[in-house]
Structure 1
Amino acid sequence: MPDAPLGRPAPDAGTAPVRSLLIDLDGSLMPLPGMQRRLAGGSMTRIGARDLASRLRIVAGKAALSSLRQRIAAAFPIADGPPPLIFYGSGDFHHLATLFLEALSGPVLVLHIDNHPDWTGWPATSNCGAWVNWALELPSVHRIVTVGPASDDFIRPQLAFANLEAIRQGRLEVHPWRAAPSRVWGRPVEGPGCATRNGRIVWQCLEGRSWAEVVDGFDARLPLLPLWVTLDKDALIPAEAVTNWDQGGLMLDAVLALVRRLAGRRRILGMDVCGDYSRPIFSDPFRALLSAADRPRLPEPDPRTAAAINDTTNIRIMQAVDEMAAMGLWTS
């Protein structure tokens, strides 16, 4: 991907930081120097939620979700909407993105960067593999555009209860980084990024394409609606993120280039970021079973290396958001 940077701006030492939120669920963020500097500078607010983590990881219990919603509302009044930049730890908590989306006034276009499509319909709970379906039910969400998956979710998506109907309806777009054709039964699945041929969904994958052309295509085609970005860093290459899931092939420069281009003609409402590393520890068999059934077995990374890599990437994200806000492209 030689053209990925696509005009990456130089940092501006005088750029004021945007309001941001750190939800401390799993302890992955608090030790990172970049977060410590933001907190010390006063532009970032911390919400303690480690007491809720065991009831929110993988699957969100209703009481724990309600408690977290109340804590966020106490720090950021619902009438003001969510803060424009949110970090909340492991991708095991990605379903919490619905909390931020439900606080927005629609219609909103959601740019979903992830190594997994998070489109399954089973189990029928608020969980990290199914949150896209819950988000599509929110009155504020006009469309979700998923970019970057390279996981095995495309092998037989119907058997995993993937929400292919949302693609047919134009409510959901999925643009994999890489994916083999998917066996499909019944009505064909057609939409931006895919087409059905001879009983298989053929995906228009991003790997190997000119990123400048990819960005141009998204900008020209997507509606000119306010935009929310949700980023699970497992979409990034291992040199730029260390997560507790399998990872994709995107580079952070490419992701930021796409966001900057879309921001040129759309108001960016904000961004939530997950995918920091924490060990998936469970206190109940239900969540442990779901995790074991879906999560690939991966070697445990060196904690210091993981923290250093993730801190660098988080700092780059924060700097890019600050720069876009200074240019008037981001809600600050």
Structure 2
Amino acid sequence: MSAPMQRSVDVKHRIPASSAPVIMDFTGTYGEQPFARDGNFNWLDCRGIQGTDCYCDEEGGAALGKLIAAFSPYGLHFLDSGNYHYLTKLWTDRIREPFSLVLFDHHTDMQPPMFEDLLSCGGWVKKMLDTNPFLQKVLIAGVPESEAVKVRSERVLTISEEWMAFGLRAFEPVQALFCSGQSVGVQSLSEYGTCDSEDRQSSDIPIYISVDKDVLSKDFASTNWDQGSLTLELLSGAIAMLLDCFNVIGMDVCGEPDSSDVLFSDKACMLNSAANERLLALWQEQGR
């Protein structure tokens, strides 16, 4: 088993405590969630931007890029439903230093594009890997084992949904994983190693966290995509561990309810508001 991760944070990447999180409102759901109504946010109204739902065309991407230009990627961003998860790419395209991505998602979001000129919610991770020269590695946590084994890239590591059922110990070898480039399945428990001092330096690279709440079970979130089985406690614990042990320079959260649901049902809004509030608190508790 890997040695405990050591805290290594370059304070120059810290986000000032006064930096308000950004809310990108495409569907109106945040207006129904108490956490958003009661907090201090930079609220971006995206409802009038065309060409952005699931697929982002050139015009839509340009409009969104212009909208977020005034805000730093080094912060917390709420992205609305999973249909807009490709926004992670737009935010991280503005990072001008080596970094790695930690993605909590029930899907790999590595589908080949149907159209080369369209950025999609199902293929943005692959697009980042293909085009972002600063992106070092991607860790995807929470995908089914059946999907995790399909990932074929030395730069992409996986912690399967089944492995995460073991609890936070699933994240104990994260530092070694970033060094060695192996995937994590239920059968690979004995394969973990530790990084030597030279390799361990690679874990000092800043990370950006992206969360799709479809990684959670339906007891803890309501999304418009098929969902996983994680508890909010486990997700929160994993993120808290990353925030405490790594130089986390930014984070975003998506996975809001289906906008076709009448008024985003009260239950869906309350579930998601509670999850969003917890993730917001985690970010703020770290002095960000």
Query: Scaled by the length of structure 2, what TM-score is found?
Result: 0.78
Q: 2:230 aligns with which of 240, 250, 275?
A: 250
Q: 2 CA distance for matches of 1:244 and 1:98?
A: 20
Q: Could you tell me whether the CA contact under 8 Å between 1:106 and 1:142 is conserved in 2?
A: no
Name the CA shift for 1:267/1:302 in 2 (closer, same or farther; >3 Å).
closer
Aligned alpha-carbon RMSD (Å): 2.3
Deviation at 1:135, TM superposition (A): 1.2
Q: 2:218 aligns with which of 212, 215, 238?
A: 238
Q: Could you tell me whether the CA contact under 8 Å between 1:28 and 1:278 is conserved in 2?
A: no
Matching residue of 1:322:
284
User: What amino acid does structure 2 have at the position aligned with 1:88?
Assistant: L
Q: Could you tell me whether the CA contact under 8 Å between 1:237 and 1:247 is conserved in 2?
A: yes
Q: 2 CA distance for matches of 1:64 and 1:321?
A: 29
Matching residue of 2:25:
24
**Secondary structure class of the residue paired with 1:316:** helix
Task: Map 1:56-67; keep pairs closer than 5 Å.
Answer: 56-67=52-63
Residues paired across the two proteins, number: 245
**Secondary structure class of the residue paired with 1:279:** coil
Task: Map 1:254-273; keep pairs closer than 5 Å.
Answer: 254-273=234-253
Task: Map 1:1-332; keep pairs closer than 5 Å.
Answer: 18-38=19-39, 43-52=40-49, 54-73=50-69, 75-76=70-71, 81-123=72-114, 124=116, 125-136=118-129, 137-150=131-144, 153=147, 157=150, 164-165=151-152, 167=153, 170-178=154-162, 205-207=163-165, 209=166, 211-222=167-178, 223-279=203-259, 303-325=265-287, 332=288
Gaps of 5+ in 1: 1-15, 158-163, 179-204, 281-298, 326-331
Deviation at 1:151, TM superposition (A): 8.6
Deviation at 1:88, TM superposition (A): 1.6
Gaps of 5+ in 2: 1-16, 179-202
**Secondary structure class of the residue paired with 2:86:** helix
Structure with more contact order per residue of length (Cα contacts < 8 Å, sep ≥ 6): 2
Q: 1 CA distance for matches of 2:145 and 2:171?
A: 22
Q: 2 CA distance for matches of 1:49 and 1:60?
A: 13
Name the CA shift for 1:21/1:302 in 2 (closer, same or farther; >3 Å).
closer
Structure of greater Rg: 1
**Secondary structure class of the residue paired with 1:50:** coil
Deviation at 1:152, TM superposition (A): 6.8
Q: 1 CA distance for matches of 2:168 and 2:21?
A: 30
Matching residue of 2:199:
none
Matching residue of 1:184:
none
Q: 1 CA distance for matches of 2:225 and 2:284?
A: 28
1:215-247: per-residue Cα shift (whole Å, max 9, x none)?
A: 211144432211100000000111110001110
Name the CA shift for 1:83/1:25 in 2 (closer, same or farther; >3 Å).
farther
Deviation at 1:21, TM superposition (A): 0.2
**Secondary structure class of the residue paired with 2:83:** helix
1:263-306: per-residue Cα shift (whole Å, max 9, x none)?
A: 333211111100011336xxxxxxxxxxxxxxxxxx98971110
Deviation at 1:260, TM superposition (A): 2.4
Q: Could you tell me whether the CA contact under 8 Å between 1:18 and 1:321 is conserved in 2?
A: no
Q: 2 CA distance for matches of 1:49 and 1:257?
A: 31
Deviation at 1:214, TM superposition (A): 1.2
